[in-house]
Chains A and B, each alone.
Chain A
């Protein structure tokens, strides 16, 4: 069965520091991969997606993610974190029309 693992329940970074959120997936075929962000009390917003082609994908708000098939990973990165990036981040894989979500990583940003 398809699954998504986000190994870090929460991460704390200093404002201005770089960020990497880890995501590993289990999927037999070429995956469709997503990263979503959820601010407190809000729904999920799509940050970026990978379907095919260039393995480094750019998203909104300065985020990027790299698909590494050999490692079954799709890690999210940002070179310089802003306080407004504090939120919960979800990695997801799509199987046909259903999306499987990871448990999420909560990002804390300290001044």
Chain B
């Protein structure tokens, strides 16, 4: 499918578990982003990537790890999930304009 996709769309995990959220885009955009959306905070940037193998922290990076071995993929890993990481996560890619994926709703119990 063309565009930007995220998987899974819904995930429930336990505190302390590792979980990886996947993001895939078909446009070959250089820039990719991970945001979390929480009530009252809008979208906050977790990490971003300017190109393959180039990543940098955003506003709220603690507890998250990213990688970008291929231009089209930008996975986000929670190494040891905490309840405060319960959120909706959005991936985006950009060619100057940002295009958002459908989101992943993550619940940490």
A-side interface residues toward B, CB under 8 Å? 4, 9, 41-46, 49, 90, 97-104
Checking A41, A49, A97, A101 against B31 with a beta-carbon cut-off of 8 angstroms, the contacting residue is A97
Checking A90, A97, A101 against B94 with a beta-carbon cut-off of 8 angstroms, the contacting residue is A97
Are A103 and B97 in contact, with the CB atoms below 8 A?
no
Tell me, yes or no, whether B61 is within 8 Å of chain A by CB: no
Closest to A42 in B: B102
Tell me, yes or no, whether B43 is within 8 Å of chain A by CB: yes
Are B100 and A44 in contact, with the CB atoms below 8 A?
yes
Tell me, yes or no, whether B58 is within 8 Å of chain A by CB: yes
**Could you tell me the distance between the alpha carbons of A46 and B94 in the complex, rounded to whole angstroms?**
12
Tell me, yes or no, whether B78 is within 8 Å of chain A by CB: no
Closest to B91 in A: A43
Closest to B40 in A: A103
Given the known interface contacts A43-B101, A46-B97, A46-B98, the answer about A98 and B42 at a Cβ–Cβ threshold of 8 Å is no
Are B43 and A97 in contact, with the CB atoms below 8 A?
no
Which chain B residues lie closer than 8 Å to A45 at the CB level? 100
Are B41 and A103 in contact, with the CB atoms below 8 A?
yes
**Could you tell me the distance between the alpha carbons of A65 and B100 in the complex, rounded to whole angstroms?**
21
Are A98 and B50 in contact, with the CB atoms below 8 A?
no
Given the known interface contacts A44-B100, A46-B97, A97-B94, the answer about A90 and B42 at a Cβ–Cβ threshold of 8 Å is yes
Given the known interface contacts A44-B90, A97-B94, A99-B98, the answer about A104 and B45 at a Cβ–Cβ threshold of 8 Å is no
Are B102 and A43 in contact, with the CB atoms below 8 A?
yes
